[in-house]
């Protein structure tokens, strides 16, 4: 008897990915709405955004409508929702696309680290991020979080551990932007 995974030929994990808009211009998946829970409906069509990448078995080019992240595991996981309502987990972006998604990846990794280490210092967070993003040209900084203040604020409201995080610069970034 075949499992559902065997019956479905499309992989749900993508690497070497990039996203483009309807003009074939690079765009970050963070331009999509965040789906915070499975009960939310993502019918709001603001922009046409397409995922272009590789799975283990084929190349993928699909329209996507929302994104979500999971910071509860040992590593943060980011997924996008295809127009066909399938979640696709993102792995490593194309090298040429890293700059486009850099700030959102740093933001999600920050939230992950803070959830796991709510009493951490700002220095420990930046040391962790510098190590995680050591292959990137520019070192992670507070500036990488500024564009995602609304996401950070909402994540803190929805996640008890993040609400207990003692890193004062996140609070100062959020209040400076509000």
Angstrom distance (rounded) from CA 30 to CA 64: 11
CB contact set of 94 (below 8 Å; sequence gap of 6+): 16, 17, 18, 53
**pTM for the whole structure:** 0.86
Q: For the segment 81-100, what is each residue's pLDDT rounded down to a tens digit?
A: 999 999 999 999 999 999 99
* Residue 172 pLDDT greater than 70, yes or no: no
Q: What is the pLDDT of residues 46-76, one digit of tens each?
A: 789 999 999 888 899 999 999 999 999 999 9
Contacts of 93 (CB under 8 A, 6+ apart): 16, 17, 18, 100, 101, 105
> Residue 157: pLDDT above 90?
no
Give the model's pLDDT for residue 37. Answer: 85
The runs of H, that is alpha helices, within 133-177 are 143-146, 149-158, 160-163, 168-177
């Amino acid at each position: 008897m075949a499992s559902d995974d065997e019956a479905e030929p499309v992989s749900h994990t993508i690497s070497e990915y990039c996203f483009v808009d309807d003009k074939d211009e690079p765009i970050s998946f963070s331009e999509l709405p965040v789906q915070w829970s499975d009960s939310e409906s993502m019918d709001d069509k603001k922009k046409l955004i397409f995922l272009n990448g590789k799975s283990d078995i084929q190349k993928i080019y699909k329209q996507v409508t929302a994104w979500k992240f999971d910071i509860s595991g040992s590593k943060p996981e980011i997924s996008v929702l295809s127009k066909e309502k399938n979640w696709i987990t993102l792995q490593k972006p194309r090298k040429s696309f890293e700059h486009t998604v850099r700030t959102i990846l740093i933001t999600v990794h920050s939230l992950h680290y803070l959830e796991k280490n709510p009493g951490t210092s700002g220095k420990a967070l930046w040391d962790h991020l510098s190590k995680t993003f050591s292959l990137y040209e520019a070192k992670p900084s507070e500036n990488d979080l500024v564009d995602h203040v609304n996401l950070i604020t909402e994540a803190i409201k929805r996640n008890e551990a993040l609400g207990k995080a003692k890193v004062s610069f996140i609070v100062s970034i959020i209040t400076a932007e509000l």
